[in-house]
């Protein structure tokens, strides 16, 4: 639906009143928009409160011609994606899209993944444990061919266990039940530890990891284990996608109110299309056979956000990628609780 500069109905299509379940008499060329808004407010579409006051507030927002975008679940359960788009001549476009089926499918997928993850965790733990016992010789002597098969099975069981744990962790993050313990730490020491933990994997791919830090120590209030988890994700990805013989650089720079950790590689870069969903759950861009579960960056983003920080990327195809992690030096008092 389009309003003219005087907030009168100008254009609309047949889907608009159908989607909002509005009587057609509210829509006629030149009709004021206020009765339409009041009808929605009376029906409870703008939430609890005085319908007249709610309608006045919506009308004032429309009159301000400020663009807006969001989603709203209607009283009838339909989920509508809404965009308010102003034009230079004063006209105002209301664009609606019914996303009920998409959101329902997404909820079903998330619930299914969570349920399956919980059901898989117990038998996987038993499988990993049994394979470890076999590798330790508890089942008796094993021929070399058998040792190789057990080793392959163990590595794949470990990989599946990590995926299951990642799925459960990201669910905890999104549910606000992820445990954090903030305390002042030596950030340079934390970065050195993260590099040491990932150096063997990087060297197995012919890649070295360098650290570039200031001479003066830098202290920040973070959850050390969670930030090591973020660095593990960034460094393993950088090593995985870097060409043999190259170097991954970890750089630390302090600012006035916070610090920036940058992980710089000379890999193939990230395509424009994939960049749009880089930090989404299950996002993957398989190049040269390298693909994971697509959960590491989504988890990293949630951890950094919980620190009051930001993770973002600069990349150029054929040149390389830089992931930046910006963190404050101190956490706000309310953020120091053990549970988020």
The reported pLDDT for the residue numbered 339 is 41
- pLDDT tens figures, 233-273: 999 999 999 999 999 999 999 998 899 999 999 999 988 88
Which carries the bigger pLDDT value, residue 13 or residue 336? 13
How far apart are the C-alpha atoms of 103 and 73, rounded to whole Å? 11
- pLDDT tens figures, 29-74: 999 999 999 999 999 999 999 999 999 999 999 999 999 988 889 9
- pLDDT tens figures, 88-100: 999 999 999 999 9
Which carries the bigger pLDDT value, residue 169 or residue 20? 20
Range with the lowest mean pLDDT among 26-35, 149-158, 182-191? 149-158
For range 191-217, the mean pLDDT: 93
DSSP per residue over 204-244, as a string? HTT-EEEEE--SS--EEEE-HHHHHHHHHHHHHHHHHHSPT
For range 282-311, the mean pLDDT: 77
The reported pLDDT for the residue numbered 290 is 52
Q: What are phi and psi of 115, to 5 degrees?
A: -65, -45
For range 16-23, the mean pLDDT: 92
Banded model confidence at residue 286, pLDDT cuts 50, 70, 90: low
Which carries the bigger pLDDT value, residue 43 or residue 179? 43
Is the pLDDT at 288 greater than 60? The verdict is: no
The reported pLDDT for the residue numbered 186 is 96
The reported pLDDT for the residue numbered 340 is 40
Helix (H) or strand (E) holding 164: helix 144-175
Which carries the bigger pLDDT value, residue 172 or residue 95? 95
For range 216-220, the mean pLDDT: 94
Is the pLDDT at 285 greater than 90? The verdict is: no
For range 186-191, the mean pLDDT: 96
- pLDDT tens figures, 310-335: 999 999 988 999 999 999 999 876 55
Q: Around 302, how many Cα atoms within 13 Å sit in the side-chain half-sphere? A: 23
Rg of the chain on CA atoms, in Å: 27
- Indicate the pTM of the whole model: 0.58
Burial class (CB in 10 A: 0-12, 13-18, 19+), 138: exposed
The reported pLDDT for the residue numbered 37 is 95
All domains of the chain in start order, with CATH: 2-98 (3.30.450.20), 102-175 (1.10.287.130), 183-336 (3.30.565.10)
The reported pLDDT for the residue numbered 134 is 86
Pairing mode, if any, of strands 208-212 and 247-254? parallel
- pLDDT tens figures, 74-90: 999 999 999 999 999 99
How far apart are the C-alpha atoms of 173 and 151, rounded to whole Å? 33
Which carries the bigger pLDDT value, residue 299 or residue 168? 299
Nearest to 299 by CA among 205, 210, 207, 233: 233
The reported pLDDT for the residue numbered 293 is 59
- pLDDT tens figures, 107-150: 777 777 677 777 777 788 888 888 888 888 887 888 888 888 88
Extract the tokens encoding 28: 């006629």
* The Cα angle at residue 300 between residues 295 and 304, in degrees rounded to 5: 155
The reported pLDDT for the residue numbered 338 is 43
């Amino acid at each position: 639906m389009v309003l003219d500069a005087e907030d009168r109905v100008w254009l609309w299509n047949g889907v608009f009143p159908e989607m909002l379940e509005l009587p057609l008499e509210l829509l006629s060329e030149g009709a004021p928009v206020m009765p339409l808004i009041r009808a929605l407010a009376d029906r409870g579409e703008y939430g609890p409160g005085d319908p007249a006051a709610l309608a006045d507030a919506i009308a004032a927002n429309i009159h301000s011609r400020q663009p807006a975008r969001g989603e709203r679940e209607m009283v009838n359960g339909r989920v509508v994606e809404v965009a308010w788009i102003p034009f230079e001549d004063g006209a105002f476009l209301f664009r609606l899209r019914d996303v009920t089926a998409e959101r329902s499918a997404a909820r079903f997928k998330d619930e299914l993944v969570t349920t399956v993850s919980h059901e898989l965790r117990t038998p996987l733990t038993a499988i990993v444990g049994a394979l470890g016992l076999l590798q330790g010789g508890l089942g008796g002597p094993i021929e070399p061919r058998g040792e190789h098969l057990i080793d392959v099975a163990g590595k794949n069981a470990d990989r599946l266990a990590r995926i299951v744990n990642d799925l459960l962790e990201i669910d905890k993050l999104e549910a606000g039940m992820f445990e954090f313990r903030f305390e002042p730490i030596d950030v340079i020491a934390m970065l050195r530890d993260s590099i040491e933990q990932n150096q063997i994997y990087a060297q197995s791919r012919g890649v070295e990891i360098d650290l570039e830090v200031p001479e003066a120590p830098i202290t920040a209030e973070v959850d050390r284990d969670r930030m090591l988890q973020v660095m593990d994700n960034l460094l393993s990805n950088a090593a995985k996608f870097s060409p043999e013989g190259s170097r991954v650089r970890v750089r630390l720079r302090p600012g006035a109110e916070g610090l920036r950790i940058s992980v710089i590689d000379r890999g193939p870069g990230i395509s424009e299309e994939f960049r749009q969903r880089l930090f989404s759950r299950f996002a993957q861009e398989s190049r040269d056979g390298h693909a994971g579960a697509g959960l590491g960056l989504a988890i990293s983003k949630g951890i950094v956000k919980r620190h009051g920080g930001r993770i973002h990327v600069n990349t150029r195809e054929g040149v390389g990628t830089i992931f930046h992690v910006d963190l404050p030096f101190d956490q706000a008092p309310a953020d120091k609780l053990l549970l988020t």
